[in-house]
Amino acid sequence: MAGHLVPLDRGFSPSSGGAAPLLNSLFMSTVNMAAKTLVAVASGGSTPGERWKPSDHARYVLMLMVWFTVWVLRILMDCLPCPSLPSSSSLLLHDWPFQGPLALLDHAGSARITEPSPKALERALSQIFSLLNDIPASSRKYQFALSMVDKIVEENALVGSEALREVNRVALSSAFSRTCALLHSSLHVNRQRQESTAPWPFKLLQTLPLGSTIAMSLWSFCSCVGSFLSPQIGVGHIPRLSTDGVGEKEGVGDEVLAEKLAQELLWITEKMRACSAAEDAVVQWSFASGLASISITANRRVQGSIVKLSAILIREVASREIETCRQVKFRLLIQWLPLLCYASNGVAYPILSRTERREVERAIEEIIESLPDCDQEIILSNWLQDFTFCSSDWPNLQSSFDRWCHSTRKLIA
């Protein structure tokens, strides 16, 4: 252990000539030796409570002699002029092998660590976002962490600094990606549990050709019928859930977790939109194919948050306030239009108001119109199939389909 000690004479440049430099070198060498002997006495020898061996006594006497020599040299240095040295306590703290983090601090490193850095604030904000995903919604610390994130993001935005805006963007984008992955994992667990406990007709349908599509349609129909019989439950703008009695029924905890993550994802999206970072959310959302597929059979409250999130991002793309490439637009619609068709929108409670639905329809039409004819054909034919099988009348893209047919006729004629 003593072999890892760093010499104490680095960084000192005493003036050449005279007895002072020699005395200075002797002093620092002796201090190094004293530190090594102290480590040897502390780490070696018998365990506490046992008698010392002769070798332990010898090491102890040697340590006392070396430290006595340090004291004598210190007196001589006070009497002779020599370059200024840091105190012996700071030297020992600097090179003491048991100091842990203190050993990482040197004169240059301490200045770098204490210097304000946007990366430090970014790491702190990302840490709180990560804790927000892990804290149960029933905990009183959940609202504490939520308010901390809200305060930091808003204060960063109010300062107006480009570096702080980048801190918000990176932290929010990372939180969006992490929450998407957690939501997908939670919904996947829920689907596996539902498939294991599903009635035999559903299991039989899935074994037939096109059985998965028929089973999904039947499942959606049963969800719509069941929603008439269930009480109205709204989706909050900020996550405020209760997990009382989670363990009473099998799978209730998984559903609550998925609902919590979906609402957090919606909240993060609106924060990204307020911080002019919606472009990152649009790109990530357009590539979330696994989440888009599994959310069709999710709990209707989870679907409600995801539909709202999709509507926000679709309107952001249509507003042309963010630069979006053709591939992102195409994937955004091809991935999430099926959910907009199959989600239980407005049966038990309104996910979107009538005005919001019409605005989203217009936004989808504008995005489709901005794409090439080949992309329009794929999107509209997939929409027509989903819209025909689902029980909902929204989104109705018939006008876009008619425009595409008219444009195609003109090209042929």
pLDDT tens-digit readout, 291-309: 999 998 888 889 999 999 9
φ/ψ (deg, to 5) at 321: -80, -15
Tokens for 214, please give them: 């028929």
Q: Which span out of 18-32, 252-266, 393-407 was modeled with the highest average pLDDT?
A: 393-407
Residues 158 and 284 in one domain: yes
Among 81, 114, 147, residue at a domain's last position: 114
Q: How confident is the model at residue 310 (pLDDT cuts 50, 70, 90)?
A: very high
Residues 289 and 266 in one domain: yes
Note the pLDDT of residue 134. Answer: 93
DSSP structure string for 219-277: HHHHHHHHHHHSPP----SS-----TTGGGSTTHHHHHHHHHHHHHHHHHHHHHHHTT-
Residues 181 and 285 in one domain: yes
Name which residue leads in pLDDT, 31 or 16: 31
Residues 258 and 314 in one domain: yes
Tell me the torsion sign for CA atoms 19, 22, 28, 30.
Answer: negative
What is the tens place of the pLDDT at every residue in 199-245?
666 666 666 655 555 665 566 556 555 544 444 433 334 444 443 33
Residues 84 and 137 in one domain: no
Residue 334 has pLDDT above 50, yes or no: yes
HSE-CB for 370 with a 13 A CA cutoff: 19
Residues 61 and 137 in one domain: no
Residues 208 and 338 in one domain: yes
Tell me the torsion sign for CA atoms 12, 18, 22, 27.
Answer: negative
Name which residue leads in pLDDT, 168 or 20: 168
Residue 357 has pLDDT above 90, yes or no: yes
Residues 197 and 253 in one domain: yes
What average pLDDT score do residues 379-401 get?
92
Note the pLDDT of residue 20. Answer: 59
Name which residue leads in pLDDT, 109 or 202: 202
- pTM (global) more than 0.85: no
Among 96, 114, 132, residue at a domain's last position: 114
Name which residue leads in pLDDT, 97 or 266: 266
Q: How confident is the model at residue 161 (pLDDT cuts 50, 70, 90)?
A: confident
Tally of domains within the chain: 2
Q: Which domain holds residue 19?
A: 2-114
Among 84, 114, 144, residue at a domain's last position: 114
Note the pLDDT of residue 382. Answer: 95
Residues 183 and 56 in one domain: no
Residues 61 and 128 in one domain: no
Tokens for 318, please give them: 């249509």
217, 389 contact by CB (below 8 A): yes
What average pLDDT score do residues 383-392 get?
90
Residues 308 and 198 in one domain: yes
Residues 82 and 122 in one domain: no
